[in-house]
Chains A and B, each alone.
Chain A
Amino acid sequence: MAHAADSSPVLRQAARPQSSAPKEPRVGFEGRMMTPGLILLAALSIVPFLALIAMSFSRVLLLGGVRLEVIGITNWVRFFTDADMWMSWLRTIIYFVLTVGLEMALGVGIALCLYRVLRGRNILLSLLLLPMFAAPVIVGLLGRYLTDSTFGLYAWVLRSLGYTGDILGSPVSAFAAVVLMDVWEWTPLIALITLAGLSSVPQSVREAAAVDGAPAWMTLRYIIFPAIANVLLVALLIRSMDAIRYFDIIWVTTNGGPADATKIVPIRLYETAFRFFDLGYAAAIGLAMLAFSIFIARTFVRLLDTRGLTR
């Protein structure tokens, strides 16, 4: 089974000599170590997954005990013909591209700046990382406070610059606001990961470029970025997975409004499931979201497998 010991992060240890392995039953010590965790994980993931599939083909009755009434593909037909749903997917994609794109650009920018700071880099980084640990729901509520049209600090700043609209009240500015709140919270993550990647670029490589007289942007383009491409890809994937996981900020600021402008798919799912209690249809939406995230996870794992990354 030596072929299994290749470059995935969990596989990367040196192969243990066969001789040192004591005679053990089929499952082995490793298997026994994994058992409790994996059983619980199976109960928490496979059971809900099967339930989700079953629900997507049923009408779910909650009153008088939970019951599933099989109705075939009705939920799925609705899913594929619901015009509002397609708008939500479109909005989700725009939201996704904007948040993740801005976070990548700003995060890499901050990391490049931080990398040039020699003294006090640690304290600067620590301060810049703070938003990452804030609960998204608090970020949303704080954003609401800051953008309130009568007493919000940022609304006041914008007012003195000549903008008087209600930020969360009109579709475009509300969308921009929830994007920026997400950017505020998660840009530090990208900066942190990128900085780790930058620090791993050997100094000799940079020095060589410097001695050869390469201008800064060329060093960046041809030396630095290729060297940290893998790390950037990891940052992008990690962020992408979480970008579709969290929707708390939108939930407590605009709740999908105004006029559905910020109603991304998870918001619609929550509304469907827990406001209208149409759990069957919500299950269909959930499965579609799951397919998307599994695709990203697949890419992530394949990336770890095929490239050595930094470890």
Chain B
Amino acid sequence: MSTSMTPRSSVPRQAGPDQAVRGNGHGILAAPPGMPQSPLEESSRRSRWVVGILLAVALLWTLVPLLWMLLSSFKNRTDVTSATPQVLFAPTLDNYRNLFTGSNNLGPYIWHSVLAAGISALLAVCLGALAGYGLARTQMRGKKHLAFWIISTRMAPIAAVVVPLFLIFRGLGLIDSIPGLVLAYLTFNLPFAIWLMSAFFAEVPASLEESALVAGCTRWQAFRTVILPLTKSGLVTTFVLCLVFAWNDYAFAVVFSGPNSQTLPIAASQLVTQTGIDWGQLTAIGTIVVVPMMLAGLAVRRWLVTGLTLGAVTGE
């Protein structure tokens, strides 16, 4: 971002400054390059400052709660509930240690969360890849209605799904079991995976399969050896997003899980008791719940836009 002579290097910032130059009565070329006093330089510098300040505020607003959670998880009992915020303190691992020892060991809950979220994400991706491919390539009548039905099951309010599922699961004895949770998570992960994978498959030109078919592959072989490897990033993105949705679930687990299937978010909410809250342990659980999903999410950042808009918008 140097002078008005190089508009390409500073495209987004050009609009305002040029107006200023024109107001000068000289036109673009007349603006003396490198002169700090020129209206162009001044205006673009000001807008750069504004952008910088706004982004700094956004960063603070975004990160302070997360950093505070991380910090607090290393504080002892008095520091964590001190009336004046403690930034410098003697760090301790007690909160994490307490989570994994004693009667309320967190270990099983982590295992339940991993199982329920992992299995449901895996099933969703496998079935979603098959069905998504079919949906992307089929030319059947009523395809639109099919697609709409799939997306509307993804968008159904959790509260409206939980009530009948509760009744059905109670009849089938699926309350307080990992399979029950997996099925509950599939109600939103499966339609999501089908729709998203179909968007990824639609990006792959059909001519590729045709050449594979001409080369003597069966449809399945063409799918398995030609198409699927091309959508690897789609498969990974779908898996990660399904995992995040299921891992973060509270609304289903609070109804369906019990001692044998309690997940991490439930364990966290159960630290809130009538007698008070151990905020040290709670921030520690929070960190354990949040950090893995953040890492997983950022790992697929390139495809996040596609994933989270269900393929309606592509990024980068």
Interface residues of A (CB under 8 A from B): 1, 4-5, 8-17, 20, 22, 28-34, 36-38, 40-41, 44-45, 47-49, 51-52, 55, 60, 62, 66, 106, 109-110, 113-118, 124-138, 141-143, 145-146, 150-151, 153, 156, 184, 188-189, 192-193, 195-197, 199, 203, 206-207, 209-211, 213-216, 218-219, 231, 234-235, 238, 241, 244-248, 251-252, 265-266, 269-270, 273-274, 279, 282-283, 285-287, 289-290, 292-294, 296-298, 300-301, 304-305, 309-311
Contacts and interface: CB of A to CB of B under 8 A. Distances in A.
Contacts of A301: 144, 147-148, 151
Contacts of A297: 148, 151-152, 155
6 contacts: A1-B141, A10-B202, A14-B206, A106-B58, A266-B159, A282-B163
A211 B17 CA distance: 10
Contact of A40 (B14, B68, B190, B304): B190
Contacts of A113: 51, 54-55, 58
B51 A41 contact: no
A251 to B, nearest CB: 7
By CB atoms of chain B within 10 A, which of A30, A32, A310 has the most?
A30
**Interface of A: prevailing SS:** helix
Interface residues of B, number: 132
Interface stretch (B29-37, B89-97, B126-134): B126-134
A297 B139 CA distance: 22
B205 interface: yes
**Interface of B: prevailing SS:** helix
Contact of A10 (B147, B272, B301): B147
A135 B313 CA distance: 24
Given A141-B286, A196-B316, A206-B12, A10 B195 contact: yes
A107 to B, nearest CB: 10
Nearest to A286: B160
Given A40-B190, A301-B147, A115 B250 contact: no
B25 interface: no
B82 A269 contact: no
A305 B148 CA distance: 11
Interface string B64-76: 1110110010000
B153 interface: yes
A214 B15 contact: yes
B74 to A, nearest CB: 14
Contact of A153 (B54, B68, B159, B255): B68
B114 interface: no
By CB atoms of chain B within 10 A, which of A1, A145, A188 has the most?
A145
B171 A184 contact: no
Interface of B: 1, 7-8, 11-16, 18-19, 22, 28, 47-48, 51, 54-55, 58-59, 61-66, 68-69, 72, 80-85, 127-128, 130-131, 133-141, 143-144, 146-153, 155-168, 170-171, 183, 186-187, 190-191, 194-195, 198-199, 202-207, 210, 213-214, 219-220, 223, 244, 247-251, 254-255, 264-265, 268-269, 272, 279, 282-283, 285-286, 289-290, 293-294, 296-298, 301, 304-305, 308-316
Closest 6 CB pairs of A and B: A37-B131, A286-B160, A33-B134, A34-B134, A210-B14, A30-B138
By CB atoms of chain B within 10 A, which of A38, A241, A244 has the most?
A38
Given A20-B210, A134-B290, A151-B82, A310 B131 contact: no
A201 B69 CA distance: 38
Contact of A28 (B138, B146, B298, B316): B138
Contact of B248 (A55, A60, A135, A298): A135
A41 B153 contact: yes
A12 B65 CA distance: 43
B268 A137 contact: yes
A131 B198 CA distance: 28
Given A37-B194, A135-B249, 6 more contacts: A10-B143, A13-B206, A48-B187, A116-B48, A156-B83, A218-B15
Contact of B191 (A28, A41, A210, A285): A41
Given A66-B167, A142-B69, A10 B136 contact: yes
A48 B164 contact: yes
B160 A287 contact: yes
A170 B125 CA distance: 45
A184 B12 contact: no
Nearest to B194: A37
B244 A192 contact: no
